[in-house]
Chains A and B, each alone.
Chain A
Amino acid sequence: MSGIGVVWDIAKDALSTSRFGIDVTGHNIANVNTAGYSRQSTVQEAKHPMFFNGLQLGRGVTTSQVVRETDQFIENRLMQQGSNLAYSTEMENYIHILEGVFNENSDASVSSLLNQYWSLWHDVANNPLGASERIALYELSSLISERFQYLDGEMRQLKTDLSNVLGPAINRINQITNEIANLNNEIVGLESNNVANDLRDKRNILVSELSQYIDTNSFEQDNGSLTIVSARGCVLVHSNTSYSISLGGANGDRVEWSSSAGSKIDMTDYITNGKLGGWLDVRDEVLEKYSLDLDSMTREFIWATNQQHSQGVGLEAFNGVTASYAAASATDAMGTAASGLTFFDKIQDGNFQLWVYDSNGDVVTPGGDTITIDADTTRLTDVAAQIGAADANITAAVIDGRLEISAANGYTFAFGGDNSNTLAALGINTFFEGSTAGGMDVCDAIRDNFNLIAAGRIDATGVFATGDNANAVAITDLQFATMDIPNWSCDRIDGNTPGSITASVGDYYRAFVGSLGTISESLTRERAFDEVSASKIGEIRDSLSAVSLDEEMTNLMKFQHAYTAAAKLITTADEMLATLLELK
């Protein structure tokens, strides 16, 4: 039946519908700056009509639901791009730090120090007797060693820093996955009859944050819960359960996923996205490569100098010498890995001469004593025995894996003509010690006595002139000598493989910093690209989902006017009723 009551009902519904509209608009305005918020709107529809006297009479309006303007596909694209951006940003940050470590625009840069190093050998060659030239060479060589140690230390520190940032990030990931699992639970509960708009927004924000950290692949189940799978197929969230990841491995620097049964899967090498992907790429690929490259270069540089240095003689002969490289096993052939000698691979068949001088400085045996080496059979103990047997005034022993040679009181000894590389491999009559960037230093013997810098050579009769510079000249030749230096490529899954470059040390180092610069340059470009595409997708997403205040103000006016009109309806109904009641 139609009556004034219907008008009252229509007016009441219109009022509440407009109020809903204003509520939702208010909610939108309030969330204008909320990240990840999707604007909402009310869906109004006409109520089911009523039949009266064969007429269909409308019964007003109702709010059927509050919907949120969103496109999950775009949201997913945005998350993916955000993940890429987080990856390239972190890569770029850390590579820039590394680039700063290898700053070449200064006089203390490695290439400048290397130039000075060869120059100082020229100076020693020009004046082999000069003490100041020798001191300058020693000082610069220690500076180079320190510089290499510094570079190595900085790269190690960066690696440690990167392992350290993993922990907090993993805690946050676990927190997020836990919250998502809880939200899954709530959403499934709420959505039995309605869409949980704000909770879904909240979940999207969390998934988006999660994808900034790590690879994510998410899909929604029919009941509205979200399943998230990460690198190597590890499930982070399923239904209302989250699975945690943690740091593990021997050094506590591997990312491990724990199943509900408690078994662990090492997913480290498969994480390729988000901040973790960036950090792990820098730590296990970029820093790994440059550390190995620097070590390889240092090794060849040390070897080249030592090998030539060991052919010469200083201003005085030795009265005692201790090898700087220790053999793990003195009873295995020196040319085999079993000996544990750092440079075992450089030892070859051959021999070297040992000359002994009496207290007047005269050669005891003018032809010298020949020590013969067979790389595959001669053991360190054999060398000691040969040296000991060569001359009654010389004793040799292996102590803690190091060959120690000493002369009887007043006697001295010197070496020459080593074509077996044994002396250099043992670290006798050498210039540098160590074989890595971190372990490089000038030999203690040289540090304690600059006269042992071997600028000269001994002639076939065992005589040497202090003014001779033949060996120093030969060392200056090394500046342009090419050698095979490993050029590493590191991949987290394929492992580290040593390539090889034939280059001088200087060329190798220039290629090294050049490649670092190229990586840094291309990362900057990649980051800029990711930034632009993230911002473009963000714009598309915002164009659909974000709040426009102008729009909301218009809506506000719209609903306000509708509200006013509905109120007018009530006034009208009221007046109609009063008219009726006033009938007499």
Chain B
Amino acid sequence: MRVATKTMYDLIRFNLAHITDDMNQANKVVATGKRINDLSDDPVGMANALEIKSNIANINQVSRNINMGKSWLIASEGALTNVQDMLSDTRALCVEMRTTTKSPADREAAAVNIQNVKEEIIALANTQVSGLYLFAGTNTEVPPFEVDGTYNGNNSPFAIKTANDTVMQIGADGEAVFGDILTSLDDLIVHLQNNDVDGIGASIAIMEGHFSDITANISAIGSKTNRMEIKENILSELTISNTEQLSRIEDADIAEAVMNLKSVELAYQAALASSSSIMELSLMDYLK
């Protein structure tokens, strides 16, 4: 084929421009460490990466929720364990006060004791985590129990999301948990004050009933905490696997990227060398 002077220069220009573009791309990959720098670099990969990022963001959020849930559950468990101890003590006191050796004065004194227990249980029922009351249903702003045992909360326990489709109760309806206990304690106080040995005797079984209710509550909370911990582990594994996948999609293999840059660089040098030597050639150099 006949090669015009213009063709030679055009080709040099065209090729150098292309290699410069390749070099620019290769350099961008090395400089950013990312394989995808623009949407068009890999649209499918980019869409995947965005989805994984969204997953990671969601996992992080759910982990935060679970952390918060755990702090509530641990606080509830602590409060309920204390209540459990008090109920056990109360039962022991009932057993003691039922015996005929105890005088009415002893029972009168015990009544004061139980009054203290009741106040302590109310204090525990008003347990707060970061300013919110655990046992107030969703009325978390106000103390659920007044000194006389009146309930100010509501009956829908506070719940949070612990997975995309799971809502878990982390608070409690204080009335359901403590209402009967407080009434029973009031009854016991009256029995003690009235020196009603039969009533005191009956209270033993009632206290045992409450004790097992609280125990059931504690174990329910324990199993929730457990579930949350398992979920937390799963989530942290998911975070790792998602992050790995994201890196596989997004990040450049640096060794490969550098090799790539080097080979483009070499091609560029070769093109420059051959172009400049071609440009020097002309028939005119040989004409006198």
Q: Using CB atoms and an 8 Å cutoff, list the residues of chain A in contact with chain B.
A: 32-33, 96, 99-100, 102-105, 111-112, 114-116, 118-119, 122-123, 125-127, 129, 456, 459, 463, 465-470, 473, 476-477, 479-480, 506-507, 510-511, 513-518, 520-521, 524, 535, 538-539, 542-551, 553-554, 557
Q: How far is the CA of A102 from the CA of B47 in the complex (A)?
A: 13
A107 CB to closest chain B CB (Å) equals 10
The reply to whether B140 and A553 contact each other, CB–CB distance below 8 Å, is no
B 121-170 contacts with A by CB, 8 A: 130-133, 136-141, 154, 156, 158-161, 164-165, 167
Complex: A545 Cα to B287 Cα, angstroms: 25
Give Cα A122–Cα B161 distance, bound, in whole angstroms. 8
For window 7-58 of chain B, which residues contact chain A by CB distance below 8 Å? 7, 10-11, 14, 34, 36-44, 46-47, 50-51, 53-54, 57-58
Chain A binder among B61-69, B87-95, B256-264: B61-69
Add 6 more A-B contacts to A111-B50, A459-B154, A539-B7 (CB < 8 A): A100-B38, A125-B160, A463-B154, A467-B140, A468-B138, A547-B6
Q: How many residues of B contact A (CB 8 A)?
A: 57
Are A548 and B5 closer than 8 Å at their CB atoms? Answer: yes
Residues of chain B within 8 A of A125, CB atoms compared = 160-161
- Given known contacts A456-B138, A473-B167, A510-B51, is B7 in contact with A546 (CB within 8 Å)? yes
CB distance from B68 to the nearest CB of A (A): 5
B273 interface contact, C-beta 8 A:
no
Q: Are B47 and A511 in contact (CB under 8 A)?
A: yes
Chain B residues with Cβ below 8 Å from A456 are 138
CB neighbours of B255 from chain A (8 A): none
Q: A476-B161, A517-B39 are in contact. Are A112 and B4 (CB under 8 A)?
A: no
Q: Given the complex, which residues of B lie within 8 Å of A511, measured CB to CB?
A: 47
CB–CB B3/A514 < 8 A: no
**A543 neighbours in B (Cβ, 8 Å):** 1-4, 7
Given the complex of chains A and B, what is the CA–CA distance between A241 and B1 in angstroms? 40
Residues of chain B contacted by A126 (CB below 8 angstroms): 64-65, 68, 160
Does the CB pair A111–B132 fall under 8 Å? no
A112 & B53 in contact (Cβ 8 Å cutoff): yes
Pairwise interchain contact A473-B136, C-beta atoms closer than 8 A = no
Residue numbers in A under 8 Å from B37 (CB-CB): 105
Contact B159 A102, beta carbon cutoff 8 Å: no
- Distance between Cα atoms of A125 and B69 in the complex (Å): 12
For residue B5, which residues in chain A have a CB less than 8 angstroms away from its CB? 32, 546-550
Give the contacting residue for B4; candidates A477, A479, A548; CB below 8 A: A548
One of B14, B136, B160, B283 near A535 (C-beta < 8 A): B14
CA of A544 to CA of B7, assembled, Å: 11
Which A residue's beta carbon lies closest to that of B13? A535
Which residues of the partner chain B approach A122 to less than 8 Å between Cβ atoms? 61-62, 64-65, 161
Other-chain contact of B39, A104, A467, A554 (Cβ < 8 Å): A104
Q: Which residue of A lies closest to B61 (CB)?
A: A119
Smallest beta-carbon distance B89→chain A, Å: 32
B46-A104 in contact (CB<8A):
yes
Q: Is residue B282 contacting chain A, with contact meaning CB distance below 8 A?
A: yes
Q: Which residues of chain A are within 8 angstroms of B141 by Cβ–Cβ distance?
A: 129, 465-467
CB distance from B45 to the nearest CB of A (A): 9
CA distance A238 to B140 in the complex (A): 86
Within 8 Å by CB of B57, from A115, A538, A546, A548, lies A115
Whole-angstrom distance from the CB of A28 to the nearest CB of chain B? 10
CB nearest neighbor in B for A512:
B47
Instruction: Establish whether residues B160 and A129, one from each chain, have CB atoms under 8 Å apart when the complex forms.
Output: no
Q: Is the CB of B283 within 8 A of A549?
A: yes
Residue of A nearest to B287 (CB): A553
Q: What are the residues of chain A within 8 A of B165 when measuring CB–CB? A: 477
Known: A116-B57, A542-B7. A550 touches B282 (CB 8 A): yes
A115-B54, A548-B2 known; A127+B132 contact, CB < 8 A: yes
Given contacts A119-B61, A122-B64, A466-B139, contact A510 B47 (CB under 8 A): yes
Q: In the assembly, what is the distance between CA of A129 and CA of B129, in Å?
A: 13
CB–CB A513/B51 < 8 A: no
- Report how far A125 CA is from B60 CA in the complex, Å: 15
Closest beta carbon of chain B to A366's beta carbon, Å? 15
The reply to whether A119 and B10 form a contact with Cβ atoms under 8 Å apart is: no
Q: How near does chain B come to A222, taking the closest CB pair, in angstroms?
A: 31
Query: Are A516 and B39 CB-contacts (below 8 A) given A125-B160, A546-B6, A549-B5?
Result: yes
B57 touches A119 (CB 8 A): yes
Which residues from B are CB-within-8-Å of A538? 10
On whether the beta carbons of A548 and B43 are closer than 8 Å, the reply is: no
Knowing A473-B160, A473-B167, A546-B4, say if A465 contacts B154 (CB, 8 Å).
yes
**B139 contacts across to A, CB distance below 8 A:** 465-467
> Across the interface, which residues of B come within 8 angstroms of A105, CB to CB?
34, 36-37
> Are A129's CB and B132's CB within 8 A?
yes
CB distance from B14 to the nearest CB of A (A): 6
Task: Determine if A521 and B40 form an interchain contact, defined as CB atoms under 8 angstroms apart.
Answer: yes
**Residue from A112, A473, A506, A514 with most neighbouring chain B CB atoms (10 Å):** A514
A514 to B47, CA, bound (A): 5
Please name all residues of chain B whose beta carbon is closer than 8 Å to the beta carbon of A469 when the two chains form the complex.
138, 158-160
What's the Cα separation between A424 and B231 when bound, in Å?
A: 36
Q: Is the CB of A513 within 8 A of B39?
A: yes
Which residues of B lie under 8 Å from residue A539 when comparing CB positions? 7, 10-11
When distances are taken between beta carbons in the complex, the residues of chain A under 8 Å from B284 are 549, 553
Given A118-B58, A521-B40, A553-B283, decide whether A513 and B3 contact each other with a Cβ distance below 8 A.
no
Question: Are B65 and A510 in contact, CB atoms less than 8 angstroms apart?
Answer: no
Distance to closest chain B CB from A515 (angstroms):
7
- Closest chain A residue, CB of each to CB of B46: A517
Bound CA–CA A521/B160 (angstroms): 44
**21 pairs, CB–CB < 8 Å, chain A vs chain B:** A99-B40, A102-B39, A103-B38, A111-B50, A114-B54, A118-B61, A119-B60, A119-B61, A129-B131, A463-B154, A467-B139, A468-B138, A470-B156, A477-B164, A513-B46, A518-B43, A542-B6, A547-B5, A548-B2, A548-B3, A557-B287
Cβ of B7: which chain A residues have Cβ within 8 Å of it?
539, 542-543, 546
Contact in complex: A467, B132 (CB < 8 Å): yes
Contact of A513 among B47, B61, B282 (CB under 8 A): B47
Residues of chain A lying within 8 A (CB to CB) of residue B54: 111, 114-115, 506, 510
A103 to B43, CA, bound (A): 12
Q: Is the CB of A115 within 8 A of B58?
A: yes
| Chain A residues within an 8 Å CB radius of B130 | 127
Q: Is the CB of B138 within 8 A of A467?
A: yes
* Residue of A104, A129, A477, A547 touching B50 (CB-CB under 8 A): A104
